[in-house]
Structure 1
Amino acid sequence: MAFSSPRATSLLLGHGRCARFLCSSSSSSSSSSYSFPEHISFIKEVAATQPPQHLSQLLRILNARDESILSPGAKQGLMPLAIPLSQSNSGAVTALLRWPTAPTGMEMPVVEVRKHGVWLLAKNVDQFIHRILVEEDANNGIDELFHAASDAGEKLYRKGDFSKSQIMDVDVYLLRKVGLFPDVLERKVVQHFENGGHVSALVTGEFYTRKNHFPGFARPFVFNAEVLLKVGRNVEAKDAARGALKSPWWTLGCKYHEVACIAEWKDEQIEYRTEKMTEEGRREDLNKGKPAFQIALDEAAFLLDLASVEGTWDSTLERIAECYKEAGLHDMARFVQYKD
């Protein structure tokens, strides 16, 4: 369920972590001061984790950009680990990602939800706010976004800092002063190619894949495979693509089959995951000494991978939830099953 007005309040109906979150109008709030309590409550009580400190400010910024704020429980048809925040006029959904077991430094990244998975927008809410304000300032944008950011904006970025830096390129400023972003790094590689700098393109592509930059995400390895393919290093491209497919497929940033093609795989990996989820596959893992909880987590991960191939998420939710229960992650089980 979406609402486009900033004048909204949340009614938490019922009790416990599976209570429903609804939105209703209120005349006492404005976009500059509204705190979006339904999102805070949802993250605490349904997603069972700590909300980002400046989430309310981000939601106000998204609202000021004319995006429709979504109910956090409006998860129908979406990648099940996403917590919806807003939807743009083009239909793009911005969300938080709730990992079952989060990589260090990526506890709750900001993502764009796509049919086959998610695209990383920023490692955290603060970084995303910082980027939005920089780009708005560089484009001589409206003051409303800075007003919406309020105290978070003052902590992260002061209007005019971009021009004072004397850095002419916004992407360069973002990389130096704000952080690393997949789309910015990929743009830099494309620019290197356009300028004839193939070595610089290769170096940047390799830099993109460093494991501490975007842990848990396959996209850097996919893009690096494409870069290597472009310069005729096909064997290395194949290895990079195969490496990408060791990460969650819903983080590839494209369709599975596009990466499998570079990896020179047909359906081997799909068949492998399917076989591992059979009774025989589970028994084999147990006989090898793998703990039962890890087998359950692996199955949940395999189910998410397979669902991402066609982008059909809802049909596997019940089994994914069962896997999380078997692994002792009861909060995650409730979260993935929740829908408005």
Structure 2
Amino acid sequence: MKIGGGVVNGASRATRHGRGISSLSACSSSFSSPEHISFIKNVAAAQPPQHLSHLLRLLKARGQSIISPGAKQGLIPLAIPLAKSSSGALTALLRWPTAPPGMEMPVVEIQKHGVWLLAKNVDQFIHRILVEEDANNSLEGIDKLFRAAGEAGEKLYKKGNFIKWKNSDIDVYLLRQVGLFPDVIERKVMHHFAKGDHVSALVTGEFYTKKEHFPGFARPFVFNAELLLRVGRNLEAKDAARGALKLPWWTLGCRYQEVAQIAHWEDKQIKYIKEKMTEEGKQEDLNKGKGPTQIALDEAAFLLDLASVEGTWDEYVERIAECYKEAGLHDVAAFVSYRE
């Protein structure tokens, strides 16, 4: 595993489950997203992001192909597909079964073994796209994207703001004016390394792992483990990798085996969760006072972890859906099992 390998292309297992749904006004633009909005409301049983239509128009203006939200075959079952680039990169929304605070429906890129976080929410992603296009000094390009983004673009970013800013570093602008992004933080760390400033690199790497920044995502801990390994702090790297593997494996941003190697666990965690899913393991949890609902949620999380190891999502979908039914999350179960 190479440090800095996460590029844009790349929760505790149970918190609250939100059901609130409100109507959205029809988009007045020539392009709208009734299919995606309807899918999120009626199948995913969630609140559609306010500016989802604007994001879809923006992605289309950038040359991506809008795809059906129900085209979930072969993908992690928590994804709501949005668009595909010419390189095959798939942008989607993540519908958590039980979302961590502040991460209700983040924008992600689908990978074989899970997801890479692109932005915590739709507005943040729109904002970033506009800033980066403005930084390219392409008047035609920014005008095209602003027309696509419509009122959302006008609300989130004023053309020329980056050019007027006192610092010409686009990454600094994004982090200070737009929000935190995994790839931007990782790039900042590598810049510190390139300048020989290992102290700043390590401080930034530790900042990356603060739980309030990317709740539910293991990637910051994976990157920090790589960072510590690089400077010879092997014991701390092992601890960081083990911390990553206590979070959903489909948020590692890489293959499970790469992180397990740093953690010196190999297949230990795989064996552990398989034991937890046996009748004996479930009975042990019951004896310890864990309720049936939590045991069912844990099993669903374990199954998602196992599916992520080889990216064999479809093999696990049916049982994952059954677990959510057992936990009383029937809407989530229907969403997980949905296929066109």
Asked if Structure 1 and Structure 2 have the same fold, meaning a TM-score greater than 0.5 normalized by the shorter chain, the answer is yes
Aligned partners of 1:31 and 1:64 also within 8 Å:
no
Provide, for residues 310-337 of structure 1, a one-character-per-residue CA deviation record: whole Å limited to 9, x for no partner: 0000011000000000000000000001
For the residues of structure 1 that align with 2:136 and 2:254, how far apart are their CA atoms?
29
Aligned partners of 1:109 and 1:120 also within 8 Å:
yes
**Closer, same or farther: CA 31–230 of 1 in aligned 2, 3 Å:** farther
Aligned partners of 1:31 and 1:60 also within 8 Å:
no
For the residues of structure 1 that align with 2:120 and 2:29, how far apart are their CA atoms?
25
For the residues of structure 1 that align with 2:79 and 2:292, how far apart are their CA atoms?
26
Structure 1 residue 283 displacement after superposition: 1.1
Counting only pairs closer than 5 Å after superposition, residues 182-261 of structure 1 correspond to structure 2 as: 182-261=182-261
Counting only pairs closer than 5 Å after superposition, residues 40-51 of structure 1 correspond to structure 2 as: 40-51=37-48
Counterpart of 2:14?
A: none
- One-letter identity of the residue aligned with 1:91: G
For the residues of structure 2 that align with 1:198 and 1:286, how far apart are their CA atoms?
47
For the residues of structure 2 that align with 1:317 and 1:238, how far apart are their CA atoms?
32
| Greater strand content | 1
Matching of residue 130 in structure 1 with residue 137 in structure 2 = no
Aligned partners of 1:303 and 1:320 also within 8 Å:
yes
Aligned partners of 1:31 and 1:63 also within 8 Å:
no
* Deviates most, 296-305 or 283-292: 283-292
* Deviates most, 185-194 or 32-41: 32-41
Matching of residue 100 in structure 1 with residue 86 in structure 2 = no
Structure 1 residue 110 displacement after superposition: 0.2
- Unaligned runs of 5+ residues in structure 1 are 1-29
TM-score normalised to structure 1 length? 0.90
Structure 1 residue 166 displacement after superposition: 2.5
For the residues of structure 2 that align with 1:104 and 1:266, how far apart are their CA atoms?
32
Counterpart of 2:293?
A: 293
For the residues of structure 1 that align with 2:288 and 2:221, how far apart are their CA atoms?
30
Counterpart of 1:163?
A: 163
Identical counterparts, % of pairs: 78
Structure 1 residue 214 displacement after superposition: 0.1
Counterpart of 1:69?
A: 66
Aligned partners of 1:32 and 1:60 also within 8 Å:
no
For the residues of structure 2 that align with 1:336 and 1:146, how far apart are their CA atoms?
35
* Deviates most, 140-149 or 104-113: 140-149
Counterpart of 2:49?
A: 52
Provide, for residues 264-317 of structure 1, a one-character-per-residue CA deviation record: whole Å limited to 9, x for no partner: 111110001111111111111111110000000000000000000000000110
Provide, for residues 179-198 of structure 1, a one-character-per-residue CA deviation record: whole Å limited to 9, x for no partner: 00000000000000000000
2:114 is matched with which residue: 112, 117, 130?
117
For the residues of structure 2 that align with 1:140 and 1:291, how far apart are their CA atoms?
57
Provide, for residues 35-55 of structure 1, a one-character-per-residue CA deviation record: whole Å limited to 9, x for no partner: 210000000000000000000
Structure 1 residue 93 displacement after superposition: 0.3
For the residues of structure 2 that align with 1:33 and 1:49, how far apart are their CA atoms?
25
Counterpart of 1:25?
A: none
- One-letter identity of the residue aligned with 1:85: L
- One-letter identity of the residue aligned with 2:172: V
Counterpart of 2:19?
A: none
- Unaligned runs of 5+ residues in structure 2 are 1-26
Provide, for residues 162-186 of structure 1, a one-character-per-residue CA deviation record: whole Å limited to 9, x for no partner: 0111321111100010000000000
Give 3-state SS (helix, strand or coil) of 1:50's partner. coil
* Deviates most, 302-311 or 166-175: 166-175
For the residues of structure 1 that align with 2:210 and 2:192, how far apart are their CA atoms?
19
Counterpart of 1:273?
A: 273
Structure 1 residue 157 displacement after superposition: 0.1
TM-score normalised to structure 2 length? 0.90
- One-letter identity of the residue aligned with 1:306: L
Give 3-state SS (helix, strand or coil) of 2:40's partner. helix
> What's the C-alpha RMSD, in Å, of the aligned pairs?
1.3
